[in-house]
Amino acid sequence: MRSDETEAVRRLFDGRYRILRTLGRGGMARVFLAEDESLHRKVAIKVLAERYAEDEQFIERFQREARAAAGLNHPNIVQVYDRGQAEGSYYIAMEYLEGENLKELIEREGRLPPRRAIDLTLQILAALRNSHRANVIHRDVKPHNIMVLPDGRVKVTDFGIARAGVSEMTEAGSIIGTAQYLSPEQARGLPVGPSSDLYSVGVVLYEMVTGRVPFDGDSAVAVAMRHVQDAPRPPSALNPEVPPALEQVILRALAKTPDTRYATADEMGIDLDRVRKGLAPLAGAALPGDGRTRRLPVGETVVAAAPSVRPRPAPVYEEAPVEEAPRRVWPWLLLLLLVLAAGGALAYALLGDGDEGTTATTTAGTTAATTTAPELVTMPAVGGRRIAVARRQLEALGLEVGVREVFEARPAGTVIGQSIRAGTEVERGSPVTLRVSKGPQPVPVPNVVGAARQAAETTLREAGFEVRVQEAPSDDVPAGAV
């Protein structure tokens, strides 16, 4: 593509795309609106900037975006149609979207109503659920890469730094991503996974309901370090209209460590959907600056300053205990034995060592008095955590962990109950059984191919499915039919 954009307009690019106008310019590429003369549709052409056309690192990053996005097919992900090399540069042809990005929307409207912010976030999570299932981590989730269409639909764009699987976040010694939306592990150059994207979603949701990002600073490095070290200010402190339940979800997403954050887009989506329906979220909120979690009572918010004595976590998911914890009677027995031992010592002093029976009493009393008491540990609350995390925590306390899996609406691998009540003191080595979700029970999908749209939607919803419609041209199926 020539540097003179005026000359570029109306030119036929790569023998197929008629350039109509410039849509935007970024740090590494320019985007043009074009007409695909083969398929007679408008497309967005993203062309790598000329100064990077011979830079192998940028070429790889650019091609990575094309590969990552082309392998994804979801209504909330921008669709990639074509990619190639022409006129000395590389390009991607993708779906043309009319609308504005989420950053522009926030700047134009200010903070968004909580209900609208939740609706937008659920669509972002739907896109990430699809990419994560394809083992693709976006790694640059931010409002600039989220398009909001006039009908309210959301499209996640720009997989330019996405990579398959858990990967390192540094390239050529620099942090890749936008500092205000980086997860703590990204900021430190550590491996990242799906929960890193969910941290960024938490930042985006925070910005939607408050109009501000949780961390800002004079430089990218300063902002990145705040993600690692600082607790976010509770959203309700900036916007009193943020419900406690929504604040709980946001703070959980912004937990410093991946293990205490939402593990999957499904987990976060389920909690947001519950908040939208007026229900309490299933997961606990992360304590600011802490790796632990707790439930927030209605009306309570998390204060950013860490208390000098941190509260013990309350139970999140909990069954009735299998049996009552043993009564603490051993201190009384020990006191009785000590009294007997003292009496034996006194008798020994008065009668001398010639009395064999007294000696025996003293010896027995001393032996009994020095018997080691059982070691007790306090049962923690592990509901809502991933089974691997909960198992490690309980085994570190010396408890024997058993697992009972059940079908449940919560994500597979999530602890939903424990047989010993949190806060109970039990002997080290005691068995504890965890109820773990196997995920929703599979149900057959009704065959609605050929049915009218309304009838198909009714059938699927009655079967318990969420229905989304995507229209497409067809030469064989009449309009309005599936």
Name the residues annotated as catalytic: 140
Question: Mind giving me the DSSP string for 135-201?
Answer: TEE-----GGGEEE-TTS-EEE---TT-EESSB--EETTEE-S-GGG--HHHHTT--B-HHHHHHHH
Compute φ and ψ for 14, nearest 5 degrees.
55, 30
Compute φ and ψ for 276, nearest 5 degrees.
-60, -30
The pairing of beta strand 136-137 with beta strand 163-164: antiparallel
Q: Is the separation of the CB atoms in 93 and 81 below 8 Å?
A: yes
Compute φ and ψ for 377, nearest 5 degrees.
-130, 155
C-beta neighbour count of 481 within 10 angstroms:
15
Rounded Cα–Cα distance for residues 223 and 226 (Å): 5
Compute φ and ψ for 279, nearest 5 degrees.
-100, 160
Residues in the chain: 482
Q: How far is CA 395 from CA 313, 377, 380, 417, 430, in A?
A: 18, 11, 12, 17, 10
Beta strands in 354-414 (DSSP E): 376-378, 400-406
